[in-house]
Structure 1
């Protein structure tokens, strides 16, 4: 939903660069999972949840047409869901600022007192034990759950990243819109995909086109 990596911005600003680099190297080498990396990184930040949330809202840049896409999907009878490997204390406030706080949010949670400084306590309600990546949120499972609720739906997946995004695009989504690393992955692996740049206009155009057809299915939009 954002054009900036909110978590990376917070960590770059507050975490000691040498220790953060050490943790990142352990993650990149495969020594630790993304979940462990994220926990250890934010525990270095030295700021309370409240302070980090406020800073995230101040710095985040929402992707153009995000709110319009959300409203359009809802009016078309669909559900707009967020599936993220990030954490609620910055995702929620950023979405609220953008007027998207009514969207379904699937992400990791910090369950510590908002005024408490690190180390934090974490919870992962959208994790899946069988998910091989330990990516905080199993985006494939989020998609499968939506399909269990209504087998007739079409799930539109919108993403820009690697790892959990590529898994969802390859194994679970019906329709994929992608940019950046996910677009490169889909093209390389012959996954049918529609690319987009800065805004979600192609998504709105697609829903408009399908909605105007004869065989209209309910849609669920999953944004990473």
Structure 2
């Protein structure tokens, strides 16, 4: 019997056309945040450490201004609503697994993806600067200090039952891609897939993924 396809999709830079964390930092952070970003991409510091330190540069009083900035400037990648409809029509479970933060991820996905289908980081604005919370930390099998640990989430779903499809664009998706049965990649994740010899299918928009899955009619 074939396995059940299940989709785990990144948010920033995948569902959205650009990375919202980077956009927020460019707009609001003081000089020096780029060093943290570069250290994360080079895997010199963990994603959790880098993201936590970047947001700690921002005053909590900026919360509403940041939300407004993201809602006004972020753009959904072409074909995403159609992709959600396709997954629903084909009865394919769909989850967001995001290194993004709840205070901007949830508003953008409201009415599109149910909150219980979204795994992302949390936030605390009760202190002077923004503090990031980590409700989905690494399990005993992961030592990468991911923050929102995507491989730990994937491991919650039985390998014998599910054909795991990962869709992503960056370093935050690499560890999940290593566990996936199928990877759709763009941007920096393509480089990391090549470097780690992970098979992948490139995509520019969600119509590409729909077309590929329809053509393939997954049988695993």
TM bracket (short chain): 0.7 to 0.9
Please state how far the C-alpha of 1:72 moved relative to its aligned partner. Answer: 0.7
Name stretches of at least 5 consecutive residues in structure 2 with no aligned partner: 1-14
Q: Deviations over 1:159-179 (max 9, x none)?
A: 1112x3122112x11111111
Partners of 1:185 and 1:25 in 2: CA distance? 15
Match of 1:44 in 2: 57
Of 96, 102, 117, the match for 2:114: 102
- For 2:199, what is the secondary structure of its paired residue? coil
Q: Is the 8 A contact 1:44 1:118 kept in 2?
A: no
Which residue among 167, 183, 206 is the counterpart of 2:190?
183
Q: Deviations over 1:21-63 (max 9, x none)?
A: 4544665676743222222222222243232212111111111
Tell me how far 1:2 sits from its aligned partner. 0.9
CA drift at 1:152:
2.0
Question: 1:4 Cα deviation (Å)?
Answer: 0.8
Distance 1:23 1:175, change over 3 A: closer
CA contact (8 A) 2:57 2:130 kept: no
**Distance in 1 of aligned mates of 2:146 and 2:197:** 24
8 A contact 1:108–1:136 mirrored in 2:
yes
Give the count of matched residue pairs. Answer: 203
User: Normalising by structure 2, what TM-score?
Assistant: 0.80
Larger RCO of the pair (alpha carbons < 8 Å, separation 6+): 2
For 1:67-118, what per-residue CA distance to the aligned partner results, in whole angstroms no more than 9, with x for missing partners?
Answer: 111111121111111111121111111222xx42326111110143xxx574
Instruction: Identify if the C-alpha distance between structure 1 residues 75 and 139 changes in structure 2 by more than 3 Å, giving closer, same or farther.
Output: same
Pairwise CA distance, 1:144: 1.5
Whether the 8 Å CA contact 2:101–2:121 is kept in 1: the answer is yes
In 1, the alpha carbon distance for the partners of 2:197 and 2:41 equals 26
CA-CA distance at 1:208 after TM superposition: 2.1
**Aligned counterpart, 1:68:** 82
Structure 1 residue aligned with 2:67? 53
Kept in 1: contact 2:58–2:130 (CA 8 A): no
Q: What is the RMSD computed on CA atoms of the aligned residues?
A: 2.5
Q: Could you say what secondary structure the match of 1:4 adopts?
A: coil
Equivalences for 1:23-172 in 2 at 5 Å? 23-24=36-37, 32-46=45-59, 47-96=61-110, 99-102=111-114, 104-112=117-125, 118-130=128-140, 131-147=142-158, 151-162=160-171, 164-170=172-178, 172=179
The SS at the match of 1:132 is coil
Q: Is the 8 A contact 1:160 1:182 kept in 2?
A: yes
Whether the aligned pair in 1 keeps the contact of 2:37 and 2:50 (CA below 8 Å) is: yes
